[in-house]
Structure 1
Amino acid sequence: MIDILKSITQSNRSLAILIDPEKMDMDAISAFAKAITSTITALQNELNIDQLFFFVGGSTMENVPFNSWMKILRESTNLPIVIFPGSHNQLSEHAHGLLFTNLLSGRNPDYLIEQQFLAAQKLKNTNLEILPTGYLLIDGGKETAVQNISKTQPLHQSDVMSIVNHAFTAQLMGNLLVYLEAGSGAIYPVSITIVQEVSQQLKIPVIVGGGLRTIEQIEDTYRAGAKMVVIGTAIEQDIKWNG
């Protein structure tokens, strides 16, 4: 049994590859998992990565048979798979874990309690490792799918103390992780200053994603205190990507 939280907490550097099932047909999953092996191995060596994960999720996923999609991925990889859900419908026992997210950067009750309530009813007897996660959407220079779907505004990068206080609130509420998210395809990632300030204030691991496209950006994010970095768009654009 994989202890995901322990792996993230005890490792110096974890890396997650984010896959959106809406952008990948089921008949392409096995080939993708095989092709990406050399890419993530190169990243692991260059960045001294301790742990590798697949994150799976998307903002809508209205026409994706999610459980069937997850089954194929589980059969195609030995990496731990963590669901990063956009709604209570994105659940599957074919994963190893689930980020049980609270969108604390916004004030929409549907993403503060309603989606969590609906998901909880399905998770009473789950074998998934549940990871309560304070999720903060940070302005990455463009409107994101999360912003559009959740009807919430991102936190401005210039207001560092507000972001720090939101993150600290997440910790006080009992979350085991904090996720700083600039959004898929962000023009610019979460600033190093924000990552540093949040990491110094918290006792729980900090995850950073969105807009990270180069080795230098990822390296700087780790050095600023992130325990885990999530990349998605860079991999989608070029499976041989190496920064």
Structure 2
Amino acid sequence: MTIANDLIKKVGEKKLHFSLLDPEDQTPKEAGKLAKLAEEAGSSAMMVGGSTLTSSMQVDKTVEAIKGNSKLPVILFPSGKKFLSKYADAIFFMSCLNSRNLGFLIREHVQGSLFIKQVDIEPISMGYLIVEPGMTAGKIGQVDLVNRDDLQTAVGYALATQYFGMKFFYLEAGSGAPEPVTNEMISAVKKNINIPLIVGGGIRSAKTAHEKALAGADIIVTGTTFEKDKNIEKTLREIIKAIEE
């Protein structure tokens, strides 16, 4: 079974949590330790990537360290073709739907696809929509941010993603966002699609994670908290428990 199909099967059984690590925010050794904690806490996958990456070597070393300390699937969450790693299990082959830059819509994908084929990383198609405030991801991605209250536009992007045949749809408020995607937007999107809905950005507590899962998110992604929380294992366990309740 592919990683994508395995995750889709699990989504049919319960809500999931993915842990996101930016290779620039800690050493590979620290990333390995964090991955072990994430697995023990109940996370279902490790995502590796960031909007401001500068070193492909750091990506490789981080992925290797994670795989050396955890059995969780490692899924690349790339900002461009330069930051792919042959050591990963899969890659979110994602189009930044509301970017004004063709590179983030399709051109980076064209240039990176041969590498993915050659090293046999599993591509997982995904529509990626950045919502206000967007943070660094919105700036780097050169996006026309979707207003937090513009439910109709969000639903339109989600349906387009599904109609294109993509396997996942991701609502992103941006790493470190002061507020996550609204419950109303999550609910509106989920009611109109039948592919898994991923929600990330600004989710720092078990209470918020529970609200987003209840609103309709199938998968919750946490990153900034994961990297900076000194009581990370406790926080992760609380968040994952809240998501699954």
What is the TM-score normalised by the length of structure 1? Answer: 0.88
**Is the counterpart of residue 232 in structure 1 residue 223 in structure 2?**
yes
Match of 2:64 among 58, 71, 76: 71
**Is the counterpart of residue 173 in structure 1 residue 173 in structure 2?**
no
Write the letter of the residue equivalent to 2:224: T
Write the letter of the residue equivalent to 2:185: I
Gaps of 5+ in 2: 239-245
SS class of match (1:162): helix
Gaps of 5+ in 1: 45-50
Match of 2:151 among 151, 160, 165: 160
Could you tell me which residue of structure 1 aligns to residue 54 of structure 2? 62
Report the alpha carbon displacement of residue 156 of structure 1 after superposing the two structures with TM: 0.6
Over residues 15-63 of structure 1, what are the superposed CA-to-partner deviations in whole Å (9 max), with x where a residue is unaligned?
101000011112323333345555xx2xx4xxxxxx6111110113113
**CA distance in structure 2 between the aligned counterparts of 1:218 and 1:36, rounded to whole angstroms:** 16
Q: Percent identity?
A: 28
**Is the counterpart of residue 52 in structure 1 residue 52 in structure 2?**
no
CA contact (8 A) 1:138 1:180 kept: yes
Write the letter of the residue equivalent to 2:15: R
Could you tell me which residue of structure 1 aligns to residue 196 of structure 2? 205
**CA distance in structure 2 between the aligned counterparts of 1:26 and 1:18, rounded to whole angstroms:** 14
Over residues 197-223 of structure 1, what are the superposed CA-to-partner deviations in whole Å (9 max), with x where a residue is unaligned?
101100111000000011111111111
**CA distance in structure 2 between the aligned counterparts of 1:3 and 1:113, rounded to whole angstroms:** 23
1:71-220 aligned at under 5 Å gives the runs 71-140=64-133, 144-220=135-211
CA contact (8 A) 2:39 2:72 kept: no
CA contact (8 A) 1:104 1:134 kept: yes
**CA distance in structure 2 between the aligned counterparts of 1:94 and 1:14, rounded to whole angstroms:** 24
Q: Structure 1 segments of 4 or more deviating over 6 A?
A: none
SS class of match (1:151): coil
**CA distance in structure 2 between the aligned counterparts of 1:123 and 1:177, rounded to whole angstroms:** 19
CA contact (8 A) 1:157 1:190 kept: yes
CA contact (8 A) 2:93 2:125 kept: yes
